[in-house]
Copies of this chain bind each other. A is one copy, B any other.
Amino acid sequence: MSDNSFGRLFRVTTWGESHGPAIGCVVDGAPPRLPITEAEIQHWLDRRRPGQSRFTTQRREPDQVRILSGTFEGLTTGTPISLMIENVDQRSKDYSEIAAKYRPGHADYTYQQKYGIRDYRGGGRSSARETASRVAAGAIARKVLGEEVSIRGSLVQVGPHRIDRERFDWDEVECNPFWCADAEEAARWVDYLDGIRKEGSSVGAVVEVVASGVPVGLGAPIYGKLDGDLAAAMMSINAVKGVEIGAGFGAAALRGEDNADEMRHGNDGVRFLANNAGGILGGISSGQDIVVRFAVKPTSSILTPRKTIDREGQDTEILTKGRHDPCVGIRAVPVGEAMMACVLADHLLRHRAQCGGL
C-alpha cells in the first residue's frame, strides 16, 4: 500500500535501502512552471550530508541528486518528479554479526518478525539514509511555498543540555556543527559530544523547527489538522519519540488564562500577544510562526556490549562497530526542516483546492 508515501496533494514516495544501488523519491502533484535545478536540490542535500564533522557518521556519501523526470527546460511540468541519489560508500564489511543478532533499540527484530526477511546491510530500509530523499523533496516543497515562507531548524537540546532562549539567534545556526541557535551552548557541546564519541556512546537530542511567513488558513478541522500532519511527519523520522507544537507538554501545567494567546488589532487584521499555540488554532495556521519540536532518541549503535538474542532466539551480546553517530539528532535538523516544508506545501495545495486563492 502507500506506506512509503506521504502528503495528499504534494505527494512524496520514497524508495531505497542503505546498501542498494540507489535511493530516491517521486514527487507527485507539484504545480507546473516552478523553476528547479539539480543544483538547488543539491544545496539542501549538502547541508544534511554525513561526514561533515566528527560529530556525525563518517560514511562518505557525495549524495549527488539526479532529476530523472518532471522538469523541462528548468521548469516543473506538473508531471511526477523522479529524484535519484546513488549509493557510493557501501563498505563491503562483514555483516554476518548483525545478520545473526538483533541490535537492541533497532528495527532488526521487528522487521524480521513482520516480514520474515530483512536487508540487514546498514539497516536496509530502516537506515537514516532514507532521509536524504526527504531533504531532496523538501527542496521542491520550498519552491511551492515561495520566498515568503522561511523554514529554519535548530538543535535546542543535546542530552540533558538545553539552549538558553535568551541567546537564541538564527544567524548562529550555520556557524557551528550542530545547527544550534545558541552559540555559547554550542561551544559547550563540542567537548561534551567529544567525550560521548570517545566513549563510543551516544545521546539524544531535541530539534526545533520554525516556519515563518505561513499564511493564515492552512490546515483543516479534525483529521486534516496541520498539527496532526506535522506530528506524523516528524514522528516518521528515524529515532524520533516525541513531537510537540508551541507550548507542547508545557501547556499541561498552564492555566487557561496563561495559555490562551490574546489578540489585538494588528497590521494584517490581528496581532497575537503570545504564541503558546505554536501558530496553529483548531488545526489551522493562524499566521504566527509555526513552532514544532521533536525528541530524537540516542542511537542504539554503541561500543558498549548489550544483551540481546540471535535469530534462533538464544541469549547473546552485541556491540556495534564501525561508523558511529554520537548524536543522530544533529543530522535530523535539515530533515525536520524538509518535513515541515513538505507538510506546508501539501496543505497549501489542499487549501487552494477547497478555498481557492493563496
One of A53-61, A111-119, A169-177 at the interface? A111-119
Q: When the two chains form their complex, are residues B297 and A259 in contact, meaning their CB atoms are under 8 A apart?
A: yes
A26, A79, A159, A302: residue with the most chain B Cβ atoms closer than 10 Å: A79
Instruction: List residues of chain B with CB within 8 A of the CB of A70.
Output: 15, 17
Cβ of A6 under 8 Å from chain B: yes
Cβ of A190 under 8 Å from chain B: no
Contact with B along A303-332 (1 / 0, CB 8 A): 010111100011100000000000001000
Contact residue among B75, B105, B118, B313 (Cβ-Cβ distance under 8 Å from A269): B313
* Contact A256/B309 with A24-B82, A114-B284 known, Cβ cut-off 8 Å: no
Q: When the two chains form their complex, are residues A308 and B206 in contact, meaning their CB atoms are under 8 A apart?
A: no
Chain B, Cβ-Cβ closest to A234: B231
Determine the distance from Cα of A23 to Cα of B70 in the docked complex, in whole angstroms.
Answer: 11
Q: When the two chains form their complex, are residues A263 and B102 in contact, meaning their CB atoms are under 8 A apart?
A: yes
One of A42-50, A145-153, A181-189, A217-225 at the interface? A217-225
Q: When the two chains form their complex, are residues B16 and A13 in contact, meaning their CB atoms are under 8 A apart?
A: no
Determine the distance from Cα of A264 to Cα of B102 in the docked complex, in whole angstroms.
Answer: 11
The 10 listed contacts between A and B (C-beta, < 8 Å) are: A15-B28, A16-B80, A20-B68, A24-B82, A204-B255, A222-B236, A252-B295, A252-B329, A256-B302, A276-B297
